[in-house]
Amino acid sequence: MPSFYEMPAVSPTMEVGTIVAWRVAEGQSFESGTVLAEIGTDKANMDAEIFERGVLLKHLASEGDELPPGAPIAIWGKAGDDIGPLLAELASRKAPSPAAPAPAPAPVAAAPAPDPAPVAAAPAPAPAVAPSAALPAGGTIVRTWMGRALPADFQDPPGDIQAAAPRVSASPLARKVAADLGIALSAVRGSGPNGRVVRADVEAVAARPAPAAPAPVGPVDETVRLSPMRKTIARRLTAVHQEVPVFQLTVSWDGAEMVRLRDALKRVMPDAKISYNDMVIAACGRALRAFPKANAGWGEAGIVRYGRVDVGVAVAVDDGLITPVIKGADHLGLAEIGARMRELAGRARDGKLAPDEYTGGTFTISNLGMFDIEHFTAILNPPAAAILAVGRLAQVPVVVDGALTVGWRMNATLTCDHRVIDGATGAQFLQVLRRYIETPALLAV
């Protein structure tokens, strides 16, 4: 018996899935564990498997279609199965239910006809020129027009005199053809005797090509279709911005030791490719372990203090933003963090992350320093109650021991969920984090 294959919920945050590509064609047989289609979610592209064996009888959706989990997207069964009943069932699901007939109006008793009212005599039509009349003391009627008296022998002009439009000379057949085609004779130039419009003149006007629409002036607007990822980003960030009370704390760190450590690591470990971002991840992992009040989130029953330190790191992709999670960041060395970050970021850009690789972060980092951004603020990434926005590490004029010199500085801003982290709590966490940033040798401990 044929069966529907429904859109699987391949991601915990998935509300709709996009059929990126069908991997099994109509009429093709498959074994248990076969990937039927590649499904695009709000975060990544996932494989949709089937754990039966049979034949894919019909695709019910095309590549590029978006459907919610549970919606039928294919029919499978055995070769030769009749899929008519399933198609009829699907059509009945989509057909709107007939509207209930409106109840018949209740009979209304006829009201007795009222007595006819007396009909007043119709007023005489007003003249085309309506002069006013005044009765002077002597009793003689003086007619005026715009404040001036009219002669006693003034006669009103007939009321039906109107300015008539000039009549176009045209043959009866030309008039009929013009009326049928909706062409005004005044717009036709006659070629007959004395400029008379004939049938050929009307048909010549009708045969003229319509004027081309004017070309658009300037650039043309383009509407970019929203991907599932962009829709999810818009919905979640709007909700966070409207519902969560936040505040920001900004600091400036001395990055001289980070520069020295990275230079030394490049000499002794040239293949490690450790970045300043990897150092910030490691520093946040150690600081969250030392100060667990910042490693928290808002829950229905209360504040959740996480027992793990999983740091999410924002990565820009074609459709928006995704946060791969470095799990157990408080126990990883710099080289291991660097290797994991490069591998996760690469698969994130290819849309190949598994759901558990981009969900469940207890803290988030967003770094725009590589774009020469000095300072910015970031929007929270729930369930984490804090996100650190990191600017560039650059040489700037600084005052050291009362003397002006050149130093390395890095600006960062911590955005906090005020329901979970108070101002003093956030400031204390940044003090702990400063110790690891400005003394990165502690990251080896």
Active site residues: 418
Radius of gyration (C-alpha) of the chain in whole angstroms: 41
CB contact at 8 A, 386 and 416: yes
- Residues 6 or more apart whose Cβ sits within 8 Å of residue 169: 190, 192, 194, 195, 196, 197
Q: Which residues pair with 45 in a beta bridge?
A: 40
DSSP 352-380: ---GGGTS--SEEEEE-GGGT--------
Closest CA to 324 of 339, 335, 310, 334: 310
CB contact at 8 A, 16 and 64: no
- Residues 6 or more apart whose Cβ sits within 8 Å of residue 138: none
- C-alpha 363: how far from its chain's center? 27
Q: CA–CA separation, 37 vs 18, rounded Å?
A: 10
Closest CA to 16 of 238, 232, 233: 232
DSSP 194-242: GG-B-HHHHHHHHHSPPPPPPPPPSPPP-PPPPPHHHHHHHHHHHHHHH
Closest CA to 390 of 363, 370, 419: 370
CB contact at 8 A, 426 and 414: yes
